[in-house]
Structure 1
C-alpha cells in the first residue's frame, strides 16, 4: 500500500464515465464531477469518457464539446462492448497510462451531489482501507440503491433462476406480457451507516489502490447484468474488502441508455432476459472455477505444510494452471529424491543434481535442492541441510577445497535459502543460521591462500582457514561476497554486491566494497 503521507506526488483520481447514445446525460454527469472538485494541491483529477460504440454522432459531439478541457479525455470503442468491457477500456487507460491511484467508474446517468469528492473518498480510504467502495446512490424515485441485495447464489438457486428466465424469455417471444425489470431490494434504513463486506450497486464503483494493484477492472465475459454479483464473488475469493459508505452520495437516473437503445417493451425484455441468462452462466462457471481452485489450493497447501512445518499459504492471484504445473514439478522432484537418495526423510530433488560423498550429507525433511546443483560433502563435519532449507539452481557446495586437507564443511539452517548460482567454499567451515535469505550469485570463500613468501609459488604456500558464520534471520543481497574469518550477527542485512571482509554485530545494515555499516535496524 502506498504511504500517501510521505508521497510528494499528487494522488491521481480518475473518473471513468461510460457513454452510450445519450450525450446530454453524459455532459450532466461530467459537469457534476467537475463542479464537485475543489482546488487541492494533494489531488489530481482526470475524467475519461468512454464512448461505447454509439452510432448517433454523440462521440463526435462530446469530443468537440470537451476539446479545450484540461481534465476530460474522450475515447471511443468501435463497437458496443457492454458494461464490463466498456468500463475496462477506461480502467485500463487510467491504470496503465495515467497511473491512477483511485479509479471511479460511473454510469453516465449518475450525478455527483457533493463538493470535494476526492477528499471524501480519500478520507474513507484512510479510515477503512477498502478495496471497493460504493456510495449512497439515490434513484429518481428516492430509493437508496446501496448496499445492494447480497444474493447467496447456491447451485440450486442459480439453476432455478435460469429456468425462470428462460421461461420468461419464451413467454415474451410468444407475446405474453411479462415484467422486464429485475427483482430489486431497496434499503429502507440500511443506507444510514457504513457496511462492510456487502454487495455494491454497479452504477458507481470506487476502486482503491488495493484493488487496482491486483485487478484489471471488472470480469469481462458479461455484456450486461449481474456484474455486481460477479464482483462480490471475486471479492470473497480474493479477500478484497467491499465497503458501503453513506458519507459519499450521488443521484441516479436509471436506464436512460437502455431505454434509448430499445424502443419497444418486447425488444427491451428480450435484451434483458438474454443477457441475464448469459451473465448467470458466466457466474456459474466462475463460481465452479473458484470452488475447484479452493479445493486444489487447499490440498497443495496441506501437503506443503507437512514439509514446511509452518502455516503455509498460497497467493490466490497465482493462476490455477501455474499452480498445478508447479505441484506436478514438485511431485516429480519428490519422486526423484526417493529414487536416487538413500535418505529416509523426504525432500525435493531437481534434475541433474550431482552429489559426491553422500555418506557425509545430511538432509532434513522438506529440503529443496534445485536443478543442476553440485554438492561435494567431503569434509570433517560434512554438509548439513536442515529442515525446510533450499539451494537454488546451478549452485555449488564444496565441503573441501582439495583432498590434501579436508575442509570443515557446511551447514544451512532450518528455513534458510540460497538463491540461484550461489557458491560455498567450506574449507574453513561455513555455517548459515535459521531463516536466512540469500539472493542469487552469493559467494562464501572460507579460506585464503598464503602468499607472503616470494620464493615459493603461491599455490604451494598452503591456505589459512578460519571460517564464516551468518546468524539467524539475515537477508543477503544478490552478488554479495563473504571472505574468510567474518561473522555476521543475527538480523543483519547485506546489500547487493557487497564484499564482506570483516565481522559485524547483530541488526547491522551493511553495503559497499568493502562492506560498511550504514545504519542499525530498529533505530
Structure 2
C-alpha cells in the first residue's frame, strides 16, 4: 500500500524508476513526512508550492521564478538581488548548505542564475552568479561544485589587481550533463549537451557535445558514442 502510493506520487512528478523492493515502508513514510513538512514551510514562507528546508533564507523573493516540485534543502542561502529573474525549473533541487551570490560588489549589479527542468545539484554548492549562470535541463551534479562567473583583470603591473576590474562572460551548461563532485567552473566556461565532467576538474573554456572532460585544467578525455 505504501509503496503503491509512493510510486503514484513519483509518476505525477514525471519520475518512472522502479522502487527497490528491499526499501522498508518506514523509510518511505519518513521521506513523505519530511517532504510534507518542507512543503508546508514553503507555502508559509514563500506562498508557493516549494519544498523548503529548515534554516533556508531567500533574499528578494519577488525576483524568483519557481517551477513545479522545486526542492531547496536545509541551510541554503539564496541572494535574489540580480538584474534578471532567478529561474528554477520543474523538479529542480539545490542541496543543503549551498550559497547563491548574485551581486558580489556594489559597483556592478549581478546577472543571476537559471536552472532548467529536472536539474539537481548536491550539497555545499557555491553559485557565484555575478556574471550569470545558465544550467540546462536534466543536469545532475555532485556536491561541492563551485561556479565563478567573474574573473579579475590583472594585466597592468602598475595597478592593484583589485582596482583593475573584472570580466563577466558567464557560465553555460547544456542539457543532459553529469558533473562529478568538487568541480570548479571558471568565468567563460561553456559545456555542450550530453557531456560528463569528471570529479575534481577545473573547467575553463568551451567544450562540444558528447564528450567526457576532466583534469586541471579540464581537457577532452574521450568522446561519447
Corresponding position of 1:505:
208
SS at match of 1:336: helix
Corresponding position of 2:31:
326
Q: Residues 317 and 477 from structure 1, CA distance in 2 versus in 1: closer, same or farther, beyond 3 angstroms? A: same
Q: How does 1:103-502 map to 2 (within 5 A)?
A: 295-306=1-12, 308-311=13-16, 313-343=18-48, 346-502=49-205
Give 1:398 shift.
Answer: 1.5
Give 1:455 shift.
Answer: 3.3
Query: Quick one: distance in 2 between partners of 1:398 and 1:499?
Result: 20
Give 1:399 shift.
Answer: 2.0
Provide, for residues 406-440 of structure 1, a one-character-per-residue CA deviation record: whole Å limited to 9, x for no partner: 11110111000011111111111100000001101
Q: Residues 341 and 312 from structure 1, CA distance in 2 versus in 1: closer, same or farther, beyond 3 angstroms? A: farther
**Count of residues in Structure 1 that have an aligned counterpart in Structure 2:** 225
Provide, for residues 248-298 of structure 1, a one-character-per-residue CA deviation record: whole Å limited to 9, x for no partner: xxxxxxxxxxxxxxxxxxxxxxxxxxxxxxxxxxxxxxxxxxxxxxx1112
Query: Quick one: distance in 2 between partners of 1:350 and 1:471?
Result: 28
C-alpha contact 1:383 1:399 (8 A) present in aligned 2: no
Give 1:312 shift.
Answer: 5.2
Q: Residues 315 and 402 from structure 1, CA distance in 2 versus in 1: closer, same or farther, beyond 3 angstroms? A: farther
Query: Quick one: distance in 2 between partners of 1:398 and 1:405?
Result: 13
Give 1:478 shift.
Answer: 0.2
- Between Structure 1 and Structure 2, the one with more helix by share is 1
Give 1:316 shift.
Answer: 2.1
Answer 1 or 2: higher relative contact order, Cα 8 Å, separation at least 6. 2
Structure 2: state its 5+ residue gaps: none
Q: Residues 485 and 327 from structure 1, CA distance in 2 versus in 1: closer, same or farther, beyond 3 angstroms? A: same
C-alpha contact 1:347 1:368 (8 A) present in aligned 2: yes
Query: Quick one: distance in 2 between partners of 1:432 and 1:376?
Result: 17
In the superposition, the TM-score normalised over structure 2's length comes to 0.95
Structure 1: state its 5+ residue gaps: 1-294
Give 1:505 shift.
Answer: 0.2
The structure with more radius of gyration? 1
Corresponding position of 2:221:
518
- RMSD over aligned CA atoms reads 1.3
Query: Quick one: distance in 1 between partners of 2:133 and 2:23?
Result: 36
Give 1:486 shift.
Answer: 1.3
C-alpha contact 1:382 1:399 (8 A) present in aligned 2: no
C-alpha contact 2:212 2:224 (8 A) present in aligned 1: yes
C-alpha contact 1:471 1:490 (8 A) present in aligned 2: yes
C-alpha contact 2:10 2:16 (8 A) present in aligned 1: no
C-alpha contact 1:419 1:438 (8 A) present in aligned 2: yes
In the superposition, the TM-score normalised over structure 1's length comes to 0.42
